[in-house]
Amino acid sequence: MTSSDVEAIVVDDIHKSYGDLRAVDGVSFTVDHGEFFGILGPNGAGKTTALEIMEGLREPDRGSVRLLGTDPFPRKVALLPRIGVQLQASAFFDKLTAREQLETFAALYGVGPARAAEMLELVGLTDKANTREDKLSGGQRQRLSIACALVHDPDIVFLDEPTAALDPQARRNLWDVLRAIRERGKTIVYTTHYLDEAEILCDRVAIMDRGKVLALDTPAALVRGLDAPARITLERGALTEADAAALPGADEVTADEQSLTITTRIPAALLTALAERGTLDGLQVRTATLEDVFLHLTGREYRA
């Protein structure tokens, strides 16, 4: 088996600068066929620029990309039917319904109109088939945008922050769409700053900041590598701070007006001791998440 049989995308030391700004600064990774690969990072990390280089929309200053074994820049006519692209800012044809949008995109790739009905069903918009796109909600427009990227049945789908600006319910609905796409065997590369969904959806993630990849692995492996303690929170009054500090495995105890939190690296022993004291009511256990890894690597300051 050759590497091209396994790897849908090979990114090798790509660089892209705009004046003094190094938007992408030596990024390398591979994406396997059928993989759901996430690129995470704060605003300005270089996620979108890296994605656009992979899509063939931008030429790197240095380095190379192989997309299905081909250099995507300049854009290759033979390659376009094999990739689907959903950009941050969705663009639709004016005054067309959801079905007409899909039929038009399908026609651009030589695909018959029957495909539109299948895509509407996939993204849960069958009941909105005859609704103009400007009358759809934000979440429905995002789902229609993804359907347009999929209507020609591409091998690789690029999604740039597909759940941005959606309410929690719309985000969760879109997760189901993304899972359905992956179940069809598609390779998905997407950017996001929602760490919870990346932890749930992605096979692997690359965490970027200031144009560089800081870490790359499965979400579970990245969390394990952080070796962060667990935090057990009790209702205030369940234990005194002194009693909590004396429990086996307690490393640190903090308290506020509502709760008492115990930090530990051996939660099993501490939870057993709490159970013996009958103080499990209202208890919450928080272990490390991908968000903790992200903040550890990129810092906690807000960057607009």
Bigger pLDDT: 8 or 168? 8
Total-model pTM: 0.85
Please, where in the chain does CATH 3.40.50.300 lie?
Answer: 3-218
pLDDT of residue 158 exceeding 70: yes
- DSSP annotation of 134 reads G
221-250 pLDDT per residue, tens: 999 998 889 999 999 889 999 999 999 999
Bigger pLDDT: 256 or 299? 256
Please, where in the chain does CATH 3.30.70 lie?
Answer: 229-287
Mean pLDDT of the chain: 91
Alpha helices in 10-161 (DSSP H): 47-55, 98-108, 114-122, 138-150
pLDDT at 231: 92
CATH of domain 229-287: 3.30.70
Q: For residue 148, with 0-12 CB atoms within 10 Å meaning exposed, 13-18 middle and 19 or more buried, which class applies?
A: buried
Q: How confident is the model at residue 5 (pLDDT cuts 50, 70, 90)?
A: low
Task: Determine contact, residues 40/208, Cβ cutoff 8 Å.
Answer: yes
Q: What is the CA radius of gyration of the chain?
A: 23
34-53 pLDDT per residue, tens: 999 999 998 889 999 999 99
pLDDT of residue 2 exceeding 60: no
pLDDT of residue 193 exceeding 90: no
Q: How confident is the model at residue 282 (pLDDT cuts 50, 70, 90)?
A: confident
CA distances from 126 to 74, 137, 143 (A): 37, 14, 11
pLDDT at 304: 45
| Strand-pair category, 7-18 with 21-32 | antiparallel
Q: How confident is the model at residue 26 (pLDDT cuts 50, 70, 90)?
A: very high
**What tokens were used for 97?**
């319904």
Which residues on neighbouring strands pair with residue 140, listed in sequence order? none
pLDDT at 211: 96
Q: Sheet harboring 21-32: ordered strands across?
A: 21-32, 7-18, 62-67
CA distance 214 to 224: 16
Give the distance, in angstroms, between the CA of residue 283 and the centroid of all CA atoms in the same chain: 30
Q: Sheet harboring 156-160: ordered strands across?
A: 83-86, 156-160, 187-192, 36-40, 204-209, 212-217
pLDDT at 170: 82
pLDDT of residue 303 exceeding 60: no
**What tokens were used for 120?**
């509407």
- Span 205-218, average pLDDT: 96
Compute the CA torsion angle 21, 25, 10, 76 (nearest 10 deg). Answer: 20
pLDDT at 89: 65
CA distance 65 to 53: 8
CA distance 61 to 16: 5
59-102 pLDDT per residue, tens: 999 999 999 999 999 988 899 999 999 876 667 888 899 999 99
Task: Determine contact, residues 260/238, Cβ cutoff 8 Å.
Answer: yes
CATH class of the domain whose range is 3-218: alpha beta
Q: Which are the contacts of 253, defined by CB distance < 8 A and separation ≥ 6?
A: 241, 244, 245, 260, 261, 262, 263
117-154 pLDDT per residue, tens: 999 998 999 999 999 999 999 889 989 999 999 999 99
